Structure 1
């Protein structure tokens, strides 16, 4: 889509026309097809529709590909993604294909989903907040707390059984889970419920988990987990620069130190002025960021319209650069 104007300009240039005319029959045929496609408004309408439908999938993949503790969010994000796709396709020319798209995505989700993701979702205190539950989910779906979702609770029970050393331990975890999601004891305090929305889930459990110590320990272990091996694979990519065929006699400790130094020098370089401007600007533009709406090479140049409630009421918007 970003190239549409440039493509439309290209096919009217004399150099393009001369190149097509000087080519063989196959070149002339393909050149004519290219021109017809670029001029076809229906083709670009299809491109816009497909981009809109696949954007929620792309953003979820980027989220999963990122680093950090995300086990407590993936389940809800998956549900939101399906709702967003449904909203988009209802107003699209491809509305009749929604059931097929849904079937493909859910089949993939069922293949990759694990009980630990259900447990992470159920142990995230934010998803039990009354104000959060009152907000409608994408596709106009009413939100419900994790303990009222049959699929989630099946994953929670399976995770408890795998984690527990014996039946006594499993029963203790279930009892403490009841205390947590029913908001008994310390979890009934207004401060505890307010902080559930503002605090990081791991910090929240570290602060208020004394009421259910065994469940709190499990929650911190689960919520600290990444949801893919991408970060480890990127680490191996760095190793490939350090430990290659010509330097294959490096021992393990030396290689670890060199990778550590390489990674930190790369991070420190982003604070230099030469990284922000000049010929080497953004030399290592970060493809790992989960905050990517389009091409990573243009991320720094993007400008977004950010409307807060007052601006919406006044009909005014303010522009804010993405840092």
Structure 2
């Protein structure tokens, strides 16, 4: 929102300059106040507008991605990897390809993407998205191939099935069999990736199921399901002992799944999601009436959290088997 507000301010640049130089402004009480003078000097100076335009050149392409993800009515996991590269190129163009201007922005984007946001799912989705894979711009670098193999190792437990999927990927890579029919520009562009695999991957059910599971993932869970991203961010805090860190992981898992359960059941707690953080100290230490007496003072010990987490994992695994 602050960046969109700044964009509106820049779009009214001349009107704002005219306002602060008008007789009406000079006769107003704000013109004699410290705050008013400071804003007038800011608007009349050149450095503010130069800085504002530079900020917008860097921020608006990224905000465009957020709007695109939020407004989409289909899973976008197969497009995020490529889109991030396109955004960086857009930022480069906005700065007229001047390296000294766009590289600091690229470094910030890369740091957040590589250390916080990037997941092997993004790379695997890029590889398994036929609209990108069969295009002339597709580039399967080491990060893409390693991301694909990482997802294969995590999602497929049977080694024989893994080996079979790897062999099936060869036919997909060379567009053989039913993949040849589906690789035409019209079919791969007009059909969502997961639906494409449902239509053209029937000859390889193992690979088909693997691809559909990945390409059906949403990228906007926190927004769509009102999940607290601050909880996951606290797990990144350094300096916490391993036992406490593991406890918080279980707590986050349980809280997110309860939130998802309530969302799908149409239940509302009556309290905004951002108002209460289950990790806050006041909840952990000041709610003894809801804590069994045989537990630790931190309201949920490691064994209890682990049991809840494993039970939730079992239910989740049973549901995903049907996808």
Q: Same fold (TM over 0.5)?
A: yes
Corresponding residue for residue 84 of structure 2: 78
Q: Deviations over 1:30-84 (max 9, x none)?
A: 4333223322345323322321222111112333444531111100101111111
Question: In structure 2, do the counterparts of structure 1 residues 109 and 6 end up closer, same or farther at CA, with 3 Å as the change threshold?
Answer: same
Of 11, 19, 22, 2:20 maps to 11
Contact 1:71–1:223 under 8 Å retained in 2: yes
Matched, 1:48 2:53: yes
Q: Deviations over 1:229-253 (max 9, x none)?
A: 2101189xxxxxxxxxxxxxxxx99
Please give the secondary structure, in 1, of the residue aligned with 2:25: helix
Of 201, 211, 232, 2:225 maps to 232
Q: Deviations over 1:128-163 (max 9, x none)?
A: 23xx32xxxxxxxxx334xx3110100000110111
Structure 2 distance, partners of 1:190, 1:72, is 17
Contact 1:192–1:208 under 8 Å retained in 2: no
Corresponding residue for residue 144 of structure 1: 138
Contact 1:120–1:223 under 8 Å retained in 2: yes
Question: In structure 2, do the counterparts of structure 1 residues 212 and 187 end up closer, same or farther at CA, with 3 Å as the change threshold?
Answer: same
Structure 2 distance, partners of 1:254, 1:231, is 10
Structure 1 distance, partners of 2:15, 2:71, is 33
Question: In structure 2, do the counterparts of structure 1 residues 22 and 149 end up closer, same or farther at CA, with 3 Å as the change threshold?
Answer: closer
Q: Deviations over 1:154-180 (max 9, x none)?
A: 000011011112211111111111111
Question: In structure 2, do the counterparts of structure 1 residues 128 and 258 end up closer, same or farther at CA, with 3 Å as the change threshold?
Answer: closer
Corresponding residue for residue 108 of structure 1: 112
Matched, 1:209 2:201: yes
Unaligned runs of 5+ in 2: 1-9, 229-260, 269-323
Q: Calculate the TM-score normalised by the size of structure 2.
A: 0.61
Structure 1 distance, partners of 2:94, 2:264, is 49
Structure 2 distance, partners of 1:253, 1:233, is 11
Contact 2:78–2:129 under 8 Å retained in 1: yes
Corresponding residue for residue 314 of structure 1: none
Contact 1:72–1:223 under 8 Å retained in 2: yes
Once the two structures are superposed, the pairs formed by residues 15-54 of structure 1 within 5 Å of their partners are: 15-20=24-29, 23=32, 27-28=33-34, 30-54=35-59
Q: CA RMSD in A?
A: 3.0
Please give the secondary structure, in 1, of the residue aligned with 2:75: coil
Of 152, 155, 162, 1:170 maps to 162
Question: In structure 2, do the counterparts of structure 1 residues 110 and 66 end up closer, same or farther at CA, with 3 Å as the change threshold?
Answer: farther
Corresponding residue for residue 148 of structure 2: 156
Once the two structures are superposed, the pairs formed by residues 236-315 of structure 1 within 5 Å of their partners are: 256=265
Q: Calculate the TM-score normalised by the size of structure 1.
A: 0.61
Structure 2 distance, partners of 1:127, 1:21, is 56
Unaligned runs of 5+ in 1: 134-142, 236-251, 260-323
Question: In structure 2, do the counterparts of structure 1 residues 103 and 17 end up closer, same or farther at CA, with 3 Å as the change threshold?
Answer: same
Matched, 1:198 2:202: no
Structure 1 distance, partners of 2:156, 2:56, is 45
Contact 1:66–1:230 under 8 Å retained in 2: no
Which of 1 and 2 has higher RCO (CA within 8 Å, sep 6+)?
A: 1
Structure 1 distance, partners of 2:128, 2:145, is 11
Contact 1:187–1:193 under 8 Å retained in 2: no
Contact 1:186–1:192 under 8 Å retained in 2: no
